[in-house]
Amino acid sequence: MPARRQAAGAYTMHTAYLTHPICQRHDAGPGHPESPERLSAIDDRLHAAHLHDYLTHFHHPPAATREQLARVHDTDYIDWVLSVAPATGRVQLDPDTAMGPHSLEAALHAAGAAIKAVDKVMVGTVQNAFCAVRPPGHHAGRRSAGGFCIFNNVACAAAHALATHGVQRLAIVDFDVHHGNGTEEIFREDGRVLFVSTFQHPYYPHCGADTVHENVVNLPLPAGTSGRDYRAAFEARALPALDAFRPELILLSAGFDGHREDDMAHFNLVEADYVWITEQVMDIASRHAQDRIVSVLEGGYNLSALGRSAAAHIKALAGL
């Protein structure tokens, strides 16, 4: 449960929910699928299910610092993003990724929320955490934006855990329907990090299927993949690799765009599949990581499906 019984009638919260109001002010343009309404859809669903009452809330996590960003992004890329961030209007970082007047601040606080969640989990304030943030991050590489992503939130959190909390083995599980190419680029030479990514292939960003690195487990799956086929692939490849790696902390790139109602891609997952993924990762975390999980929002663009799926994921994290 999000609230674990310790004595008759006594409960203690163990799942954190981190967000920041500036994340809803990032505006990529009219009709853009990565819209502010995404966070509202999650929040509304949590309220409807009365799940907020079972979570520990952190609504103003600090912005990521330059030092924290520079652990995963080249300094000239950071400087470029800072220099082109508009005071008015909108600029394109790539054909899919736009910045408005509030986008830089939102991106800094999105990365900062993931970093703060790692701090909370590692010191034992909470057992796990979900970061409801935008813009997403897993397509941002060392020196590139892409796929709606400016800074790589989960990578910043992972590097922070390695640099400041003495973590020696950390796993990142990316279940977004798109391959986490930025995260892979950042960590594929770092044996302290196991990167596991499930994704539709062939599909954007058109890479990952041929990766050969000891610390990368990519699971390219075809369009039309069902929940049953997804689970079979995850059980066959991802879970044994995670168990053998024995991570001390698990980070999730939590994308819900594989839902059958989301027309951004062509998987056929439903809420129960996201619950199953969450529970499998929680089992690994229970055995090796003292239950420590930080989940960071990535994709999910059908608002109803996103709200329901994220709420189901958070409910599972909370043990309800």
Catalytic residue set:
139
CATH code of residue 49 = 3.40.800.20
Q: Spell out the long-range contacts of 6-15 with Cβ–Cβ below 8 A and sequence spacing 24 or more.
A: 13/54, 13/55, 13/56, 13/126, 14/56, 14/126, 14/127, 14/128, 14/318, 14/319, 15/54, 15/55, 15/56, 15/126, 15/127, 15/128, 15/129, 15/130, 15/314, 15/317, 15/318, 15/319
Number of domains making up the chain: 1
Does the residue 7 lie in any domain? no
CB within 8 Å of 108: residues ≥ 6 apart: 63, 64, 151
* This prediction's pTM: 0.96
| Residue span of the structural domain in which 164 resides | 13-317
Does the residue 53 lie in any domain? yes
pLDDT score at 13: 67
Block means of pLDDT (10 residues each) for the chain, 320 residues, are 36 84 97 98 98 96 98 98 98 97 98 98 97 98 98 99 98 98 98 98 97 97 98 98 98 98 98 98 98 98 98 97
Does the residue 3 lie in any domain? no
Does the residue 5 lie in any domain? no
Contact of 183 with 216, CB cutoff 8 Å: no
Does the residue 1 lie in any domain? no
